Chain A
């Protein structure tokens, strides 16, 4: 991925996340942090997809820095982590996967529906697993980073 493409991905995912932060009625002072969380996750995801094209692995790897960033923002900005997590994860959640699964299902393409369905569940599982793992880390791991800034 060249620099131009990198910044393009960063830009579109930041704007996309920001739009949904507004739709979720996030307080305006947190817009920037929400957008950054979403962009960070998405950029890691696209980089991973180039190195190892598996949506499940890429989702799992991308959600780790995303959740860590959400935790940092939550502590530093004294806001519930839900704000940053729910908005930031939006580009990664398999919304399109659910739609494709259901679409193939009602169109009678059982094989495609099964394939998409399995992938969708695996992606959601990977995201949830990564999230739970990072949230389980002791908060003192985040202290040095917080103090330095």
Chain B
């Protein structure tokens, strides 16, 4: 028989990894239950929220973990998923699982230059998707590259998330505005919506409603509020720069 505290620790470790890196609430819950059952835990209960996990095993052990809403790393989600398949098949001992999870947690993010390029191209291609031309592609690419560099610095300095989004949106608007003023870009609106795509909470909003449809009302509400606040901070960033350009510099973009 495995030690209850250890089972709780390992399942919690897996749940935290999944939740932090972008897995859905009910999937986190499911995975933790499957793992606990595979290790012979009886009377295991877990409750997962968007930003926290509560788990108990019988009357002997309970654990509570705060999981702040963070970035998405689907590579780690994938790795935990395949580990949980192996655990369910009885191929991984409890001790090994813990080491394996620590290894998954250490999976590095994509290298910085690649991330910068991806953000640039993501912004640029979304400018095209929304109907912009190749001139807007170039401006959005520049804005996306600078945005990722800014986000990297902001994260390194532990800048508040709302302020980060606000300044990021202001940055891409300024870059797009300069591009249009110099005659490189054509349609500022397309450049802006393309290059704020990495910041927008579209997925958060959609997943919030999906949580509602799964009756996870509390988790859905947390995500919904997150989406609203982020949306507002982005709009403030864009609005501030456009208003400044109009009244401060006298250019209407």
Q: A interface vs B, CB < 8 Å?
A: 9, 12-13, 15-16, 19-27, 30, 42, 78-80, 82-83, 86-87, 89-91, 93-99, 101-103, 105-107, 120-121, 124-125, 127-129, 131-132
Q: Is B164 an interface residue (CB 8 A)?
A: no
A-B pairs with the 9 shortest C-beta distances?
Answer: A95-B200, A95-B202, A93-B202, A19-B122, A102-B235, A16-B125, A22-B118, A98-B231, A128-B209
Given the complex, which residues of A lie within 8 Å of B129, measured CB to CB? 9, 12-13, 16, 42, 91
Cβ-closest chain B residue relative to A131: B210
* Interface SS majority for chain A: helix
Interface string of B27-61 (1 = CB under 8 A from A): 10000000000000000000000000000000000
Total of A-B residue pairs, C-beta within 8 Å: 157
B27, B125, B231: which contacts A15 (Cβ < 8 A)?
B125
Q: Is B10 an interface residue (CB 8 A)?
A: no
Given the complex, which residues of A lie within 8 Å of B85, measured CB to CB? 78
Cβ-closest chain B residue relative to A14: B125
Given the complex, which residues of A lie within 8 Å of B139, measured CB to CB? none
Cβ-closest chain A residue relative to B214: A132
Which residues in chain B, 59-74, are within 8 Å of chain A measured between CB atoms? 72-74
The answer for the CA separation of A27 and B115 in the assembled complex, in Å, is 14
Cβ–Cβ contact A26 & B74, under 8 A: yes
Interface string of B175-215 (1 = CB under 8 A from A): 00000000000000000010011101111011111101110
Q: B interface vs A, CB < 8 Å?
A: 22-24, 27, 72-78, 81-82, 85, 109-110, 114-115, 118-119, 121-122, 125-126, 128-130, 193, 196-198, 200-203, 205-210, 212-214, 227-228, 231-232, 234-236, 238-239
The answer for the CA separation of A38 and B231 in the assembled complex, in Å, is 23
Contacts A80-B81, A106-B232; is A86 near B209 (CB within 8 Å)?
no
Cβ-closest chain B residue relative to A13: B129
The answer for the CA separation of A115 and B240 in the assembled complex, in Å, is 22
Cβ–Cβ contact B23 & A80, under 8 A: yes
Given the complex, which residues of B lie within 8 Å of A87, measured CB to CB? 74
Given the complex, which residues of B lie within 8 Å of A97, measured CB to CB? 202
The answer for the CA separation of A99 and B204 in the assembled complex, in Å, is 13
Given the complex, which residues of B lie within 8 Å of A128, measured CB to CB? 206-207, 209-210, 212-213
Cβ–Cβ contact B110 & A22, under 8 A: yes
Cβ-closest chain B residue relative to A123: B206
The answer for the CA separation of A80 and B144 in the assembled complex, in Å, is 29
- What are 24 A-B pairs at a CB distance below 8 A? A13-B129, A16-B125, A16-B128, A16-B129, A19-B121, A20-B122, A23-B118, A23-B198, A80-B78, A82-B23, A83-B77, A89-B206, A94-B205, A95-B197, A96-B200, A98-B228, A102-B236, A103-B235, A105-B232, A106-B236, A124-B208, A128-B209, A128-B213, A132-B214
A19, A79, A120, A129: which contacts B125 (Cβ < 8 A)?
A19
Report the minimal beta-carbon distance from A100 to chain B, rounded to whole angstroms. 8
Given the complex, which residues of A lie within 8 Å of B119, measured CB to CB? 19, 23
Cβ–Cβ contact B81 & A90, under 8 A: no
Given the complex, which residues of B lie within 8 Å of A16, measured CB to CB? 122, 125-126, 128-129
Report the minimal beta-carbon distance from A42 to chain B, rounded to whole angstroms. 7
